Amino acid sequence: MAQDKGIKLVAENRKAYHDYHIEERMEAGIELTGTEVKSIRQGKVNLKESYAGITSGELFVYGMHISHYEQGNRYNADPLRSRRLLMHKREINRLYGIIKQQGLTLVPTKVYFKNGRVKIEVSLARGKKQYDKRQSEAQKQAKREIDRRLKDSGRRGES
């Protein structure tokens, strides 16, 4: 996500990429209080243990921690409260059908500002098995090793 398009990344759920196969990504708005927005601007948001779900036709995010805004005093909301995500009804119904039929999970993967508004990237994800996690970790290690060797051989060629 580029800074020049009015998009500023605030938080990313890297654990989601480790625990799930991400199949589809969608953008959603989020219903927040003023002090929560100010806290997010300071980067005090954590998505690590968060997940999304559909309750009575509305999309919510649970477990997303937004720290108290220091100057907010009594206006601060509960840091772990459930927050409503804003999507069109037809998109929510489509997600609900996919989740029920295919057994996928909704996981928030990014929080960012887009033209001054807080947005969340919600992803449809399928859980990884332990051997999948090991396999993807081995691929990352192999790629790092190849890059390291190429970098070293480039240095030796210059001397």
Model pLDDT, residue 153: 80
Which residues pair with residue 66 across a beta bridge?
A: 45
pLDDT in the model for residue 4: 54
pTM: 0.76
Rounded Cα distance between 96 and 102, Å, is 10
Is the pLDDT assigned to residue 96 strictly greater than 80?
yes
47: Cβ contacts below 8 Å, ≥ 6 apart: 11, 12, 13, 16, 64, 108, 109, 110, 111
| pLDDT tens digit sequence for 7-41 | 889 999 988 888 888 999 999 999 988 888 989 99
119 with 25: CB under 8 angstroms?
no
Listing DSSP states for 51-82 in one string gives: EEEEETTEEEEES-EEPPPTT-GGGPPPTT--
